[in-house]
């Protein structure tokens, strides 16, 4: 196997990890051991929880700002805060869902390859979680709007 082919194969594996497609990640020539799969699953779960904490922090900061100083902000200041919040929360939400899917992927590989059974959440919770995150941002923006409207 040439060095160029090895580099190409390594890049394919990196893309497979990122996109969670499953091609050659846990099967084939480079089958991952049980310990490696556990490690990858736990890293993805840790990233998911970190993302949830980030969303909670950003949301709390935005709601606190809306509650305490929302009525005193100019229209421009409120718009800038809202755009920053919506952008940051949107990115955190997206990547949290990506990491959640990645954790589920590795948990599935553990189950398929090594017979590990788990009570951990699976794909059934993903639509619910995505819906909650999708409704969170508009609800917070509406709260800011209500605070500003009722203060006048």
Q: Give CA–CA dist 128/130, Å, rounded.
A: 5
Q: Is 59 within 8 Å of 92 (Cβ atoms)?
A: no
What ranges make up the beta strands (E) of 30-70? none
100 token code pair? 């959640």
pLDDT tier, 120 (very low <50, low <70, confident <90, very high otherwise): low
Q: What is the mean pLDDT of residues 56-64?
A: 96
23 pLDDT above the threshold of 60? no
75 pLDDT above the threshold of 70? yes
Q: Give CA–CA dist 106/44, Å, rounded.
A: 9
* Between 44 and 27, residue with greater pLDDT: 44
Q: What is the mean pLDDT of residues 71-75?
A: 91
pLDDT tier, 22 (very low <50, low <70, confident <90, very high otherwise): very low
* CB atoms closer than 10 angstroms to residue 146: 12
29 pLDDT above the threshold of 60? no
* Between 124 and 95, residue with greater pLDDT: 95
pLDDT at 150: 87
- Helices 75-114 and 34-69 cross at an angle (nearest 10°) of 160
């Amino acid at each position: 196997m040439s060095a160029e082919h090895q580099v190409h194969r390594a890049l394919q594996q990196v893309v497979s990890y990122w996109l969670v497609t499953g091609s050659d990640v846990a099967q084939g020539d480079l089958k991952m051991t049980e310990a490696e799969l556990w490690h990858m699953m736990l890293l993805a779960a840790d990233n998911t929880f970190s993302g949830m904490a980030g969303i909670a922090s950003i949301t709390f900061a935005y709601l606190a700002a809306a509650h305490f100083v929302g009525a005193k902000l100019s229209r421009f200041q409120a718009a800038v805060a809202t755009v920053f919040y919506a952008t940051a929360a949107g990115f955190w939400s997206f990547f949290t869902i990506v990491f959640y899917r990645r954790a589920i992927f590795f948990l599935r590989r553990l189950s398929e390859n090594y017979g590990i059974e788990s009570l951990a959440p699976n794909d059934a919770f993903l639509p619910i979680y995505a819906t909650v995150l999708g409704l969170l941002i508009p609800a917070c923006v509406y709260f800011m709007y209500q605070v500003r409207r009722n203060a006048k």
